[in-house]
A and B are shown apart, each in its own frame.
Chain A
Amino acid sequence: MTPTPIPPRATPVLTPTPVGEKPQYGGIVNYHDYTDPVQIDPHATTVIGDLQMSMGVLSSIIKYDPRNPFYIAPDLAERWEQSADGKVFTFFLRKNVVWHDGTPFTARDVKVSIERVLGIWDPAFSAPRCGSLLKPLVDKMEVVDDYTVRFHLKFATPLFIPSIASSWCKIASASALERYKNLSRPESLIGTGPFALKRYERGVVFEWEKNRRYFEEGLPYLDGVRHYILPDVATQLAGLRTGRLHIAPNFPGLTPSQAQQVVSARGKEVVAYRWTVNNMVGTQLNTRVAPFNDIEMRRAIHLALNRQEVVEKIFEGIGFPCTVLDPVAYGDYALPMEEVLRLPGCRPDKTADWAEARRIVQQKYPGGLELEVLVRRTLDFVPTAELVTAQLQALGIRARLQVLEPAAGLQRYGRGEFTIIGTQSTSPSIPDPSAMFTESWVPGGALNFTGWEDKTFMAMHEDAIRALDVRQRQRIVQEMQRYLLTKDMAWLVLGWRERYFIWDVRVKGFVPGPSIYEDKTFTTVWLSP
């Protein structure tokens, strides 16, 4: 078979289904999860491997449209209204919805779920993703009647709609929550979504089956989706090459060489699609301890890091170096790459940056500097950290890499027992630019261990989450990126990955979205014969 070259990055596609092709009913799609779900409660977890279990099982009040995940569509609410001052949202819920166990869905279910993520239903519970999205925004929520709920916001903000539509904020059955106290058990995942959880064998597979009482008429098309749990990359690739798997997920996604293997083996039987992983990879500096409690030393490392080399060697040439926001996922909110690549620290010609970085280090540490670079053994973190360590050594720093098991790493990072974390990545909860800032540069972000706090930046962030005018918001967000890249930051961006999606040509209606968390409900996916 002649190898088929993998295609270059496509422009955003609204639907890969050819126009006029009529969806077919039936069939089961075989998908895989790259990790064994640990915490399957979507309100409690922060990990996509966990979230996938509930993605097509539970519904949200509103959702990212599966036919075009760049837009918001009705879900449990058939419509919604916003008050003139932008601070009150009223959602009118569907009346024909039943839970998978046959009980009717009402506003009480919404109330319990939302109060749960806000920490009202159970004060001991905290929802790291949905809670951190909604708590700063929502003042109170009220049930108007059985099919109407109203949210009162603390201030008018464009963040509310993308947040409430998020997969982290799914609505669970109130009776299931009362019975099980949480959603950590498979039997507690009773939903209203297009699929019901049919079986879950831990470490092996979880399977969805079609919800025949799904409230959107005619959907879903599939009889079910099997999610095989395959942590080993060789097994994942074997599954894709032999057709045992229909789709490769977009996180962690396939590198060009891995995608090429699959395309070479299956030729025109698969579609390869280059797309953003919506995952920022960076190096974290601990600002609580020397040497990185000194802004000049943080600048030296920023100048020294060669992001182009990271993209070339680790991302296999596909990705965006240095930029604070991925230009594909964030469009006009992202600082133009032309501007990013002109900035010190980000520009491809490193001569002047290295000279300046060396000068700073020699001035501050004339006797030399010794550093321990920590990294967790997960994904491609270790090779990335090896490269970062080599770049620090080239600067004259005696850098030494220490690889930690994932759990041990988290423990040390959480205690602040580190100087520099060679590699840590994050994906923002929602495809809104301010979410990226909240989670990575505002204190308290789930994976931000730097201890960095900056009043000027925080003031800009407050403006960004309140700005209602799109153009004004874009200006603020771009200014925040300039600030981080030119003034100071402690979570230094190395780059944003791009990877390859692969799916069998028989799989139709699958549309990659701007967020890895919002495009895998399989609601509108179908299999052609």
Chain B
Amino acid sequence: MLPLTVIGLTLVVFVLTRVMPGDLATLIVYDSGARFTKPPEVAVAEVRQQLGLDKPIVVQYGIWLARLARGDLGFSYWQQQPVARLVAERIPRSMELTLVSIVIAFLVGIGLGTVSALYRNSWIDHLSRLLAVSGISVPLFVTSVGILWLLVRFFAWMPPLDYASPWENPWENLQQVIWPALALAIYISAPVMRLARTQLLEVLREDYIRTARAKGLAERVVVMRHALRNSLIPVLTFLGWWAARIFGGVVIVEVVFAVPGMGRGLLQAVSARDYPLIQGYILALGLAVVLTNFLVDLSYRWLDPRVRHG
């Protein structure tokens, strides 16, 4: 399935970039002043020919796919650099942000969900559910701007503007990544918490939990080893299902917190209608979604013995 999914992805990415309104050739003509030496329509036609945009979309797709098969993602029209280099430069930043977000989201979401399920209908359950509903209801850009506003308003501080690699300057990198990761984590942890709570409540009613308790196992062992582990399967499925949304959220937090990752790069590429770069970024993000789902599928084997032995 994986190769078919990737080919389908390339087709969607290619067609989407070509059908969106706004034309790169027109932008180049108006930005380079070519309309001053010749009629705009002539200049636009010439640029389209130079860039190969005058060929039928199917032919353009075929050429792009053939290059892609050789590992060549093309050349950025505006940045005058290989797309592969630009994407490779930004992938680690977005991946770091995403991973930190997911770790925070799962720690908080599963933690709150577990506490909520164990203390059902208590004040902590009500509070956790209220937080979850808020996390789902408030748009990510509002959460992001809100966090930035709080930092600025009450601490007269904002994350550093210059990006520092975690290998070169881990402290500065943490200062920059933690806040957008927190915003994204709030967005992810709310549904995780609700799902974890529901699943745990269901699992706690299962016969094998009753058996474990009847055998005299400590409640902590029953919950942590038997109940929680089984309730995590749907939560992980959710991660695969939500991966596209999470990577979409990365675009928003990277813009607000000025993190120079793929999301911010994608937005810039879309504004400039830099087709090869848009394709490169979306393809990388799409592959990340596919890979996440693949890893989720693999993780079932570890979490669920029925899959492992089935």
Bound: A408/B34 CA distance, A: 18
Q: Are B256 and A235 in contact (CB under 8 A)?
A: yes
Listed stretches B99-107, B221-229, B266-274; interface member: B266-274
A39 close to chain B: CB less than 8 A: yes
CB distance A407 to B271 under 8 Å?
A: yes
A406 near B: Cβ within 8 Å?
yes
Which of A47, A128, A414 contacts B26, CB < 8 Å?
A414
**List of B residues within 8 angstroms of A296 by Cβ:** none
Interface residues of B in 251-290 (CB under 8 A from A): 255-258, 260, 264-265, 268, 271-273
A185 at the interface (CB under 8 A from B): yes
Assuming the contacts A234-B148, A405-B22, asked whether A30 and B161 have C-beta atoms less than 8 A apart, the reply is yes
**B24: which A residues are within 8 A, CB to CB?**
407
A21 at the interface (CB under 8 A from B): no
Answer yes or no: A444 CB below 8 A from chain B CBs.
Answer: yes
Is A244 within 8 A of B161, CB to CB?
Answer: yes
Q: Does A46 contact B (CB under 8 A)?
A: yes
Given contacts A239-B158, A414-B26, is CB(A126)–CB(B264) below 8 Å? no
Distance in angstroms between the alpha carbons of A129 and B32 in the assembled complex: 10
Contact status A202-B79, CB under 8 Å: yes
Chain A residues positioned under 8 Å from B119 (CB to CB):
none
Q: Is the CB of A128 within 8 A of B32?
A: yes
Residues of B within 8 A of A444 (CB): 36
* Main SS class of interface, B: helix
B161 lies within 8 A of A38 (CB):
no
Nearest residue (CB) in A for B255 is A232
Which of A127, A226, A406, A414 lies in contact with B35, CB distance below 8 A? A414
By a CB distance below 8 angstroms, the chain A residues around B41 are 415
Please indicate which of the listed interface residues A36, A239, A265 has the most CB atoms of chain B within 10 Å of its own CB: A36
B258 touches A230 (CB 8 A): yes
- Given A235-B256, A238-B158, the answer on whether A46 and B33 have CB atoms closer than 8 Å is yes
Q: Is the CB of B152 within 8 A of A238?
A: yes
Of the residues A235, A404, A407, contact of B257 by C-beta under 8 Å: A235
Q: Contacts of A409 on B, CB cut-off 8 Å?
A: 22
The listed residue (A39, A47, A226) touching B162 by CB distance below 8 A is A226
Q: A216-241 vs B: 1/0 string, CB under 8 Å?
A: 00000000001010111011011101
Do A414 and B30 touch across chains, with their CB atoms under 8 A apart? yes
* In the complex, chain B residues whose CB is within 8 Å of the CB of A85: none
Please name 16 further chain A to chain B contacts, defined as beta carbons within 8 Å, in addition to the given A36-B268, A228-B258, A410-B22, sorted by A numbering.
A39-B78, A128-B32, A128-B36, A204-B162, A228-B162, A230-B258, A232-B255, A234-B148, A235-B148, A238-B151, A238-B152, A244-B160, A405-B21, A407-B23, A407-B24, A411-B21
Interface of A is mostly: loop
CB-CB contacts below 8 Å: A393-424 with B: 404-411, 414-415
Q: Quick one: closest B residue to A202, CB to CB?
A: B79
Indicate if A16 sits at the interface (CB-CB under 8 A).
no
Q: Count residues of B near A (Cβ-Cβ below 8 Å).
A: 45
Chain B residues within 8 Å of A239, by CB: 158, 161
> Are the C-beta atoms of A242 and B157 separated by less than 8 Å?
yes
Are B36 and A132 in contact, CB atoms less than 8 angstroms apart? yes
Which B residues, 23 to 59, have Cβ-Cβ distances below 8 Å to chain A?
Answer: 23-24, 26-27, 29-37, 40-41, 44
Alpha-carbon distance A27/B22, docked complex (angstroms): 43
Question: Which residues of B lie under 8 Å from residue A36 when comparing CB positions?
Answer: 268, 271
Find chain A residues with CB under 8 A from B163 CB. Answer: 201, 204
B161 touches A411 (CB 8 A): no
* B149-172 vs A, Cβ < 8 Å mask (1 yes, 0 no): 101100011101111000000000
Q: Are B78 and A244 touching (Cβ within 8 A)?
A: no
B80 within 8 A of A: yes
Report if B145 contacts A (CB, 8 A): yes
Q: Which of A238, A405, A444: most chain B Cβ within 10 A? A: A238
Listed by A's residue number, 26 A-B pairs whose Cβ atoms lie within 8 Å are: A44-B31, A44-B32, A44-B33, A126-B37, A185-B80, A202-B79, A202-B265, A204-B162, A205-B161, A231-B255, A234-B256, A235-B258, A238-B148, A239-B161, A241-B156, A242-B152, A407-B21, A407-B23, A407-B26, A407-B272, A408-B22, A409-B22, A411-B21, A411-B22, A414-B29, A414-B35
Q: Which single residue of chain B is at the shortest CB-CB distance from A41?
A: B32
A362 at the interface (CB under 8 A from B): no
Q: Give min CB distance, A204 to chain B, whole Å.
A: 4
Bound CA–CA A409/B27 (angstroms): 10
Are B26 and A126 in touch, CB under 8 angstroms? no
- Assess A410 versus B26: contact at CB under 8 Å? Given A30-B161, A203-B260, A415-B41: yes
Interface check A460, CB cutoff 8 A: no
Q: A37 to chain B: closest CB distance in Å?
A: 9
Question: What residues on A are CB-neighbors of B162 within 8 Å?
Answer: 204-205, 226, 228
Interchain CB contact (< 8 A) of B34 among A126, A202, A234, A406: A126
Contact A38 B78 (CB under 8 A): yes
Shortest beta-carbon distance from A166 to chain B in Å: 15
For the complex of A and B, 5 pairs with smallest distance between CB atoms: A128-B33, A407-B22, A408-B21, A408-B22, A204-B260
Q: With A and B bound together, what is the CA distance between A140 and B261 in angstroms?
A: 48
Residues of B within 8 A of A415 (CB): 40-41
Residue of B nearest to A445 (CB): B36
User: Does A131 reach chain B (CB closer than 8 Å)?
Assistant: yes
Q: A44-B33, A126-B34, A226-B162 are in contact. Are A201 and B260 (CB under 8 A)?
A: yes
Contacts of B27 on A, CB cut-off 8 Å?
Answer: 407, 410-411
Q: Which of B32, B255, B258 contacts A39 (CB 8 A)?
A: B32
Distance between Cα atoms of A129 and B33 in the complex (Å): 8
Which of A226, A234, A405 has the most chain B CB atoms closer than 10 A to its own CB?
A234
B31, A45: Cβ atoms closer than 8 Å = yes
Tell me if A119 is interfacial: C-beta within 8 Å of chain B.
Answer: yes
CA A414 to CA B26, docked complex, whole Å: 8
Which residues of B106-162 have CB atoms within 8 Å of chain A's CB atoms? 145, 148-149, 151-152, 156-158, 160-162
Identify which of residues 411-442 in chain A touch chain B, using a CB-to-CB cut-off of 8 Å.
Answer: 411, 414-415
* B80 lies within 8 A of A127 (CB): no
Q: Which residues of A contact B156 (CB under 8 A)?
A: 241-243, 265
For the complex formed, measure the closest distance between the CB of A172 and the CB atoms of chain B, giving whole angstroms. 16
